[in-house]
Amino acid sequence: MASYLSGAQALVKALEREKVEVIFGIPGGATLTFYDALKDSSIRHVLARHEQSAAHMADGYARASGKVGVCTSTSGPGATNLLTGIATAYLDSSPVIAITGQVARDYIGKDAFQEIDTVGIFTPVVKYAFQPLSVSEIPFDVKAAFYIATTGRQGPVLIDLPKDVQAEKAEIEFPERVEIKGYRPYVRPDPEVIREAAKLIIQSQKPVILVGGGAVKSEVGPKVVELAEMLMIPIASTLMGKGAIPENHFLAVGPIGMHGTYHANTLIMESDLVIGIGVRFSDRTTMDTKEFSKDRMILHFDIDPTEARKNIVNEFPVIGDLNESISMLVSEIRKMMPYTKDSPWYKRVKELKEYYEDKIFGENVLSPFIIKKIREILHEDDIVTTEVGQAQAWAELFYKALRPRTFITSGGLGTMGFGFPAAIGAKVAKFDKTVVDIAGDGSFLMTSNSLATSVKEGIPVVVVILDNAVLGMIAQWQRLVYNNRYIASSLGETPNFPALAKAYGAEGVRVNGLEDFEKYFKEAVKSDVTYVIDVPISPEENVFPFVPAGKSLKEMIV
Amino acid sequence: MKRERVFFITVADKPGVLFKITNIFRRRNFNIESVTVGKSLAKDESQIVITINADDEEADSFARMVKKLIDVYEVVEAPKESCYTQELLLAKLEGSKEELREIAKNYGAELMEDDSLILKYSGEPSNVEGLVKQLSRFKIIHISRTGITAVVKEDGKDILRFGR
């Protein structure tokens, strides 16, 4: 059915047809027509205070809900500000649609006011970039954008819409489905390869399962648990894989990597087989890649063929939909001899886990206890986001994620300032859940103006600032790797965070120690406005275990 | 082992596709030795032929990264030895016609004698190199080389094929 619409109206209608409920953004000269059409729509608009935060909000919304997050900015500086947020989504394979305004067609490429080559600068950090140059292209491009963002290995897609195309009118038809030549997101696992993989698992003596972000997104967790229980083998995760399986499971050993748990890092280096599921073996996970793959086989289940042998050259890749692959693997292994509870490997797992699980390394540390307290108080389907740096690493180590999509962090790009706006986005997606941003004082200041959004739009979240008055991870490296030569890592005791929160109409408190924290955190969880809890900690606190860059997972500093 | 590789990339015939492909090589700091683009038989499709110097691992990784691009339909990668390669040279020259006729005859090149002297030659890239050296004794007004185009001689195990 065709209707006579402007480009802006066609865009809004196409978004409605994709069941978009909310858009995070900031209007500008090149999106005024789009916003004018948005006024007649039931789609909610959440006004950000910086485009980077708008993108993080859309990303947080996507990660918490599994739906597409939509963000928008104007051309030029709006688009370049959005870029960091979109790159963050790209590195963590998050389905985000970015709609940017563009100058009118005749002005593109002529350095017009607020004109930048948006498609050019976004291309390396999106799955695809569309620039509809006529109204009639809009319905196909929007439908295709959603299809591309949500299928296969997910990721962000850009729609860059010139101002005059937004205004132009035409008879518009909306397609029910789109076919994109050259895009085959579905990969059926090869049964022969699965059989081969099953054989490798059965032949191994000391296998470890390693789940990543792909296991969270595909919700393959229950099948992974079935596999682990059948073989009585441990399940470790990457930072992005937290929550894929409940971390309180008796076979869960927590994350491996630069800030992995002592027992998980040890087990992986003692293993003779790693079963990677939806992981990409990033450098922060494997550390020294040669050491990581030296004495063991690496099996690699993933949906993205380009991940095969990308980081681990001598691995055995199994490409295909994870749910299908792992189902096939489980039924294949069932036919063969499973392990028993009495295997020496399980005993070793149990021994290490029992000894190290509750161990906290380092003296006079408060942060791990704060994180554990947050876990104790929150429900299992409440959501935690993190900033980047020490706070993120403490959350990785001490916050046990029990459900998929309840631990949201910038793992790939490591974007400081991600956690707070992502928490706002997650709260919009799951309004009945408590959402907590585990922050450092350095990261929080990068996007703290989102306080205005959270208060004005009535999106209350809790921000816990582990406040050491330094850029904590930088200080830790300068202390441990650069022989105490501190430079540019001290932030000083400014600002006064509770006062900052109150200036925006939020709640804020500075607490003193764990008991005080518990009291205010319980209050914050019930608060109707965003609540900032400033927790002073020592600038000397280190995150342990810590594997310095270039070392192997065996070489943990504790 | 580093060696010359030829990538045959079938793509959507639209703006920006070549940029996305070359950007993959650029990001990992590879110099593209040669690139040629032409329409392919199918409607709205082009074929890009790129040659680079890379080892087996790099070639495999590039082939898959290029195939991952949504506008790329097929990627075939082959070592240069497994391909029949050709390059076209056009040279506008000034100098002795007789000498040039002699060179043209030796190389099987065509000399177009109009108002100016234009030499046209197509052959193995190494022969093109050889001919260019011969031309140094003439006054070169302009030289254009197309870069390498190729076809795979026969499908062997050293040929990678992704897509379709």
**Residue B78 and residue B158 in one domain:** yes
Residue pair A303/A320 in contact by the 8 Å Cβ criterion: yes
Interface size between A and B, measured as CB pairs under 8 A = 39
- Which H/E stretch holds residue A502? helix A497-503
Mean pLDDT, residues A470-485 taken together: 96
What does the pLDDT read at residue A1? 60
User: Which residue shows structure tokens 């081969």?
Assistant: A196
Report the phi/psi class of residue B120: left, alpha or beta, with left for phi > 0 and alpha for psi in -120 to 50. Answer: beta
Report the phi/psi class of residue A100: left, alpha or beta, with left for phi > 0 and alpha for psi in -120 to 50. Answer: beta
Select the residue from B14, B43, B55, B68 to test the A interface by mutation, using most A Cβ atoms within 10 A: B68
Q: What is the CA radius of gyration of chain B?
A: 18
**Residue B76 and residue B103 in one domain:** no
**Residue B120 and residue B77 in one domain:** no
Task: For each of the domains in chain A, give its residue range(s) and CATH number, in order of start.
Answer: 3-172 (3.40.50.970), 191-356 (3.40.50.1220), 367-536 (3.40.50.970)
Residue B90 has pLDDT above 70, yes or no: yes
Least confident of A9-13, A334-338, A501-505, B104-108: A334-338
> Cβ of A305 and B57 within 8 Å?
no
Mean pLDDT, residues A225-250 taken together: 97
Residue B37 has pLDDT above 80, yes or no: yes
In this structure, how many other beta carbons lie within 10 angstroms of the beta carbon of residue A389? Answer: 24
Among candidate residues A462, A465, A261, the one with its CA nearest the CA of residue A378: A462
pLDDT band at A280 (very low <50, low <70, confident <90, very high): very high
State whether the Cα torsion A30-A146-A242-A302 is positive or negative: negative
Mean pLDDT, residues A28-40 taken together: 98
**Residue B42 and residue B108 in one domain:** no
Q: What's the CA gap between A243 and A213, in Å, rounded?
A: 9
What does the pLDDT read at residue A238? 98
Q: Any idea what the CATH number is for the domain that residue B94 is in?
A: 3.30.70.1150
Domain count of chain B?
2
Q: What's the CA gap between A148 and A164, in Å, rounded?
A: 26
Residue pair A281/A211 in contact by the 8 Å Cβ criterion: no
Chain B CB contacts of A148 below 8 Å: 70
> Cβ of A182 and B73 within 8 Å?
yes
Residue pair A463/A532 in contact by the 8 Å Cβ criterion: yes
For residue B150, the cross-strand partners are: B85
> Cβ of B163 and A124 within 8 Å?
no
- Which H/E stretch holds residue A317? strand A316-319
> Cβ of B71 and A127 within 8 Å?
no
Chain A CB contacts of B61 below 8 Å: 306, 309-310
Select the residue from B10, B25, B70, B72 to test the A interface by mutation, using most A Cβ atoms within 10 A: B70
Among candidate residues A31, A62, A63, the one with its CA nearest the CA of residue A47: A31
**pLDDT tens per residue across span A114-163:** 999 999 999 999 999 999 999 999 999 999 999 999 999 999 999 999 99
Active-site amino acid positions of A: 51, 113-114, 163, 473
> Cβ of B64 and A305 within 8 Å?
yes
Q: How far is CA A549 from its chain centroid?
A: 22
Residues of B with CB under 8 A from a CB of A: 12, 16, 19-20, 23, 27, 57, 60-61, 64-65, 67-73, 162-163
Q: Any idea what the CATH number is for the domain that residue B17 is in?
A: 3.30.70.260
**pLDDT tens per residue across span A172-225:** 999 999 999 989 898 899 999 999 999 999 999 999 999 999 999 999 999 999
Task: Report the residue of chain B nearest A314, measured CA to CA.
Answer: B57
Mean pLDDT, residues B15-43 taken together: 94
Least confident of A118-127, B1-10, B109-118: B109-118
Chain B CB contacts of A182 below 8 Å: 12, 69-73, 163
Mean pLDDT, residues A500-509 taken together: 98
Q: What's the CA gap between B45 and A98, in Å, rounded?
A: 28
Q: Which positions ≥6 away from B112 have C-beta within 8 Å?
A: B118, B119, B120
Backbone angles phi, psi at A314, to 5 degrees: -100, 30
pLDDT band at B65 (very low <50, low <70, confident <90, very high): very high
> Cβ of B65 and A306 within 8 Å?
yes
Indicate the average pLDDT of chain A. 96
Chain A CB contacts of B71 below 8 Å: 182
Three-class DSSP labels, A323-361: HHHHHHHHHHHHHCCCCCCCCHHHHHHHHHHHHHCCCCC
A180, A305, A308 member nearest B70 (Cβ):
A180
> Cβ of A123 and B67 within 8 Å?
no
> Cβ of B68 and A304 within 8 Å?
yes
> Cβ of B61 and A120 within 8 Å?
no
Q: Which positions ≥6 away from A44 have C-beta within 8 Å?
A: A21, A22, A23
SS3 state of residue A87: helix
Backbone angles phi, psi at A388, to 5 degrees: -125, 135
| Sheet of strand B110-113: strand arrangement | B110-113, B117-123, B83-94, B139-152
Q: What's the CA gap between A209 and A276, in Å, rounded?
A: 6
- Minimal C-alpha gap between B80 and chain A (Å): 23
Residue A410 has pLDDT above 90, yes or no: yes
**Residue B8 and residue B78 in one domain:** yes
**Residue B13 and residue B71 in one domain:** yes
- Measured between CB atoms, does A341 come within 8 Å of chain B? no
**Residue B65 and residue B132 in one domain:** no
pLDDT band at B164 (very low <50, low <70, confident <90, very high): confident
- Minimal C-alpha gap between B14 and chain A (Å): 12
- Which H/E stretch holds residue A145? helix A138-150
Structure tokens at A161: 């819409």
Which domain does B13 fall in, by range?
A: 3-83+152-162
For residue A47, the cross-strand partners are: A25
pLDDT band at B8 (very low <50, low <70, confident <90, very high): very high
List the end-to-end C-alpha distance of chain A, in Å, as a whole number.
Answer: 66
Put simply, the chain A residues between 295 and 334 with a CB less than 8 A from any chain B CB are 304-306, 308-310, 313
**pLDDT tens per residue across span A288-305:** 999 999 999 999 999 999
Residue B71 has pLDDT above 80, yes or no: yes
What does the pLDDT read at residue A454? 98
> Cβ of B64 and A182 within 8 Å?
no
What does the pLDDT read at residue B157? 72
Chain B CB contacts of A158 below 8 Å: none
- HSE of A320 in the Cβ direction (CA atoms, 13 Å)? 15
Task: Report the residue of chain A nearest B59, measured CA to CA.
Answer: A310
Residue A3 has pLDDT above 90, yes or no: no
What does the pLDDT read at residue B116? 83
**Residue B44 and residue B107 in one domain:** no
**Residue B62 and residue B15 in one domain:** yes
Peptide bond into B79 cis (omega under 30): no
A119, A182, A306 member nearest B64 (Cβ):
A306
State whether the Cα torsion A74-A79-A81-A87 is positive or negative: positive
- Minimal C-alpha gap between B31 and chain A (Å): 18
**Residue B60 and residue B126 in one domain:** no
Q: How far is CA A368 from its chain centroid?
A: 21
**Residue B10 and residue B72 in one domain:** yes
What does the pLDDT read at residue A341? 62
pLDDT band at A339 (very low <50, low <70, confident <90, very high): low
Report the phi/psi class of residue A375: left, alpha or beta, with left for phi > 0 and alpha for psi in -120 to 50. Answer: alpha
Q: Which positions ≥6 away from A222 have C-beta within 8 Å?
A: none
Backbone angles phi, psi at A152, to 5 degrees: 60, -140
- Minimal C-alpha gap between B66 and chain A (Å): 9
Chain A CB contacts of B68 below 8 Å: 304-306
Report pTM. Answer: 0.95
Peptide bond into A404 cis (omega under 30): no
Mean pLDDT, residues A230-238 taken together: 96
What does the pLDDT read at residue A340? 63
> Cβ of A123 and B16 within 8 Å?
yes
What does the pLDDT read at residue A338? 62
Strands A22-25 vs A531-536: parallel, antiparallel or unpaired: unpaired
**Residue B115 and residue B138 in one domain:** yes
Strands A69-73 vs A96-102: parallel, antiparallel or unpaired: parallel
